[in-house]
């Protein structure tokens, strides 16, 4: 029996659950290793507050008499958006002047803890859940997990980045206008926006109480489904909670379905040609998976989206923070203040005018579902650097809501899914949506899509996959590739991996039988198997076989690809160097790796 000595790069629910069942991991050991990771993780603006090690250990120790077979979320760490109550920590909604100490955890948090989940902390958000960017917080901008110069998406930014960077297995967010879907797309996650009212909002700071949903971020659709099953408990104390009325999943739905695609003139990518190409590819994949594409007119949906930041729903937002706005306006983030102030002067006539218009648009949009089973859109048309959003906060935020703002107004269910990577390494995502209570059908389709389109899988699915060799005839698999130089995360050549759908599996070391040399050009290292040797720091990436050949073709001499033995005894493909090339090179083995060598003092 092998006991885990370190955590994998990401924490899939399925993977942790299997480790618990195998006896290779305990909740207490998980907490201790996770704490070390939390303490050393790069600052990306993820957390507003975190539990102490002792508090997390108490949750783990409470599971000592339980079994992973009895509790569906046994020992699974999760993060909580800081507009959702956790009794151990204050709730701030990203506004220190608003903060309060809850007497008990939110209804959904209690369900998850009762199922064995271990809370980690409260995550950063756009203040009062007003925004889709993740930069509108006095606790700092939350940074994208793939490129910290880019936005993480909001308002549930911290929750998404916590999962994407291996600090939690899943996270709770909220979704009023897209906050559970946009961050999922920007961080290569699955984001479930359930039917409005399916999950309780008791213990949730409202944004628009009549529209708010508690959302779920996870690495895979299967993981998200497990969390949704636990969370889907009727709460009679929540006036907006609705008993589940699941629509039946048609026989064979996951293999034969009709999906709507917006008319070409209604698709907006805001100049992002890479996103446009990835959406076209996603449509092709859905057809290959048994779908029939149907072009549909989504203008009623777009018109409904235009109502969200007008009329009664903006006044709803004002209800939450209006007192602060009147008495302590400096407590609000400047952009948030400007948006909420517009809700102060709306009349009842304005509200009814909007209600009438929405009802008309809902009647028109309902006609779509006689033509299709699901609607497929980009989750967003593009993504922006943090600097661009700070320079133009309202317009760029509005663009991000183009495909998301209408869904809760029109009472739709939705799931955001990863759909590949741009050449610059940033992920792209699509969203499937359907009428209320179609949540199970959407999850069934998402799981089917993940199984039949492995090049778009989340990281944890890749971790549990079988990896064929590089000469396999199966062009849908992955090759594990160890990199030790400029292809490492954050270094100049890393986009050659991420741009081909590569996914980081782990940071590890080679077996102690290699030497590392700085080649004369000063730009790259050469790794040679030698005795005596040392363990060299490497990253192991999963690269789709269909893109592996072109990746290898770009490797200049004296480097090449060969077999590299890792510290756990396994072998993967990896960068090696011709021995003759290192005769005049600088031996940098003692640095332990290329990053350490680059970071050496002058």
- Over 70: is that where the pLDDT of 37 sits? yes
- Which tokens in the block code for residue 288? 């290959």
- Using alpha carbons, select from 262, 298, 305 the residue that is nearest to residue 399: 305
Q: List phi, psi (to 5°) of 295.
A: -75, 130
Percent of the chain whose pLDDT exceeds 90: 70
- Using alpha carbons, select from 109, 145, 153, 121 the residue that is nearest to residue 39: 121
Residue ranges of E strands in 15-64: 47-50
Helix (H) or strand (E) run with residue 483 in it: strand 478-483
DSSP bridge partners of 573:
481, 563
Residue 141 pLDDT level (bands cut at 50, 70, 90): very high
pLDDT score for 479: 83
Residue 477 pLDDT level (bands cut at 50, 70, 90): low
What is the side-by-side strand order in the sheet with 571-577? 503-509, 537-544, 478-483, 571-577, 559-565
Mean pLDDT of 12-19: 93
| 3-state secondary structure at position 263 | coil
- Using alpha carbons, select from 129, 127, 90, 109 the residue that is nearest to residue 211: 129
Give catalytic residues, as residue numbers. Answer: 81, 155, 179
Q: List phi, psi (to 5°) of 216.
A: -130, 130
pLDDT score for 466: 38
Instruction: Please list, in sequence order, all residues whose beta carbon lies within 8 angstroms of the beta carbon of residue 38, skipping any fewer than 6 positions away.
Output: 50, 120, 167
What's the pLDDT tens digit per position in 246-288?
Answer: 887 766 676 789 999 999 999 999 999 999 999 999 999 999 8
Residue ranges of E strands in 306-401: 374-378
Q: How far apart are the first and last CA of the chain?
A: 46
- Using alpha carbons, select from 183, 212, 209 the residue that is nearest to residue 199: 212
The region of weakest confidence among 180-194, 407-421, 471-485, 575-589 is 471-485
pLDDT score for 508: 85
- Over 90: is that where the pLDDT of 425 sits? no
Mean of the per-residue pLDDT values of the chain: 90
pLDDT score for 590: 84
Instruction: Please list, in sequence order, all residues whose beta carbon lies within 8 angstroms of the beta carbon of residue 186, skipping any fewer than 6 positions away.
Output: 144, 150, 151, 152, 153, 160, 380, 383, 426, 427, 429
d(CA 466, CA 566): 17
549-577 per-residue burial string, b: 16 or more CB within 10 A, e: under 16:
eebeeeeeebbebeebbbeeeeebbbbbb
Q: Give me the domains of the chain, ranges plus CATH numbers.
A: 13-295+357-452 (3.90.1300.10), 478-599 (3.10.490.10)
Where do we find the tokens 């199922």? 115
pLDDT score for 254: 67
Determine the angle formed by the axes of helices 273-288 and 439-452, rounding to 10 degrees: 90
- Over 60: is that where the pLDDT of 480 sits? yes
What's the pLDDT tens digit per position in 497-516?
Answer: 877 777 777 778 999 999 99
Enter the pTM of the model: 0.78
What's the pLDDT tens digit per position in 536-573?
Answer: 999 888 887 767 887 888 888 888 898 899 887 788 89
Residues 93 and 129: beta-carbon distance below 8 Å? yes
**Summary count for the chain: helices (H), strands (E):** 19, 19
Residues 83 and 193: beta-carbon distance below 8 Å? no
pLDDT score for 502: 77
- Which tokens in the block code for residue 266? 């209604």
| 3-state secondary structure at position 525 | strand
pLDDT score for 465: 40
More confident residue, 116 or 531: 116
What's the pLDDT tens digit per position in 196-214?
Answer: 999 999 999 999 999 999 9
């Amino acid at each position: 029996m092998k006991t885990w000595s370190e955590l994998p790069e990401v924490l899939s629910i399925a993977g942790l659950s299997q480790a618990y069942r195998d006896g290779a991991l305990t909740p207490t050991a998980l907490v201790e290793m996770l704490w070390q990771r939390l303490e050393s993780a790069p600052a990306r603006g993820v957390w507003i507050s975190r539990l102490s090690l002792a508090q997390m250990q108490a949750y783990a120790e409470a599971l000592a008499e339980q079994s992973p077979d009895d509790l569906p979320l046994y020992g699974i760490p999760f993060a909580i958006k800081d507009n959702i109550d956790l009794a151990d920590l204050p709730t701030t909604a990203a506004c220190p002047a608003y903060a309060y100490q809850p007497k008990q955890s939110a209804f959904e948090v209690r369900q998850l803890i009762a199922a064995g989940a271990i809370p980690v902390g409260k995550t950063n958000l756009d203040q009062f859940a007003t925004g889709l960017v993740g930069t509108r917080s006095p606790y700092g901008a939350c940074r994208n997990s793939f490129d910290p110069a880019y936005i993480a998406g909001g308002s549930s930014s911290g929750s998404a980045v916590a999962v994407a960077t291996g600090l939690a297995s899943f996270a709770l967010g909220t979704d009023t206008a897209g906050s559970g879907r946009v961050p999922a797309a920007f961080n290569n996650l699955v984001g479930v926006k359930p039917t409005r009212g399916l999950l309780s909002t008791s213990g949730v700071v409202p944004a628009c109480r009549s529209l708010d949903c508690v959302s779920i971020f996870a690495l895979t659709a299967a993981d998200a489904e497990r969390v949704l099953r636990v969370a889907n408990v009727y709460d009679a104390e929540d006036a907006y909670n609705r008993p589940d009325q699941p629509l039946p999943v048609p026989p064979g739905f996951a293999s034969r379905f009709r999906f709507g695609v917006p008319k070409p003139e209604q698709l907006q990518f805001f100049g992002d040609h890479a996103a446009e190409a990835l959406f076209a590819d996603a449509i092709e994949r859905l057809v290959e998976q048994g779908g029939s594409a149907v072009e549909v007119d989504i203008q009623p949906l777009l018109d409904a989206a235009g109502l969200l930041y007008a009329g009664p729903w903006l006044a709803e937002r004002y209800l939450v923070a209006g007192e602060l706005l009147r008495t302590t306006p400096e407590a609000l983030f400047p952009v948030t203040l400007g948006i909420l102030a517009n809700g102060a002067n709306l009349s009842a006539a304005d509200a009814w005018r909007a209600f009438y218009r929405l009802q008309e648009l809902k009647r028109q949009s309902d006609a779509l579902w006689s033509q299709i089973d699901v609607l497929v859109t980009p989750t967003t048309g593009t993504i922006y650097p943090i600097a661009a959003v700070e320079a133009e906060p309202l317009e760029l935020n509005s663009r991000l809501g183009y495909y998301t703002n209408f869904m809760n107004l029109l009472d739709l269910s939705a799931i955001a899914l990863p759909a590949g990577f741009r050449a610059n390494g940033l992920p792209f995502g699509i969203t499937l949506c359907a009428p209320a209570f179609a949540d199970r059908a959407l999850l069934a389709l998402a799981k089917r899509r993940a199984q039949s389109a492995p090049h778009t899988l989340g990281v944890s699915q890749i971790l549990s996959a079988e990896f064929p060799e590089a000469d396999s005839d199966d062009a849908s698999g992955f090759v594990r590739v160890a990199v030790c130089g400029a292809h490492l995360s954050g270094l100049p050549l890393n986009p050659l991996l991420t741009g081909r759908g590569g996914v980081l599996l782990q940071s590890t070391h080679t077996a102690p039988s290699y030497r590392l040399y700085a080649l004369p050009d000063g730009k790259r290292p050469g790794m040679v198997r030698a005795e005596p040797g040392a363990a060299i720091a490497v990253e192991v990436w999963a690269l789709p076989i269909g893109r592996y050949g072109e990746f290898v073709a770009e490797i200049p001499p004296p480097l090449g690809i060969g077999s590299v033995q890792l510290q756990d005894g396994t072998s993967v493909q990896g960068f090696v160097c011709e021995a003759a090339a290192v005769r005049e090179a600088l031996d940098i083995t003692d640095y332990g790796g290329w990053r350490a060598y680059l970071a050496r003092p002058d």
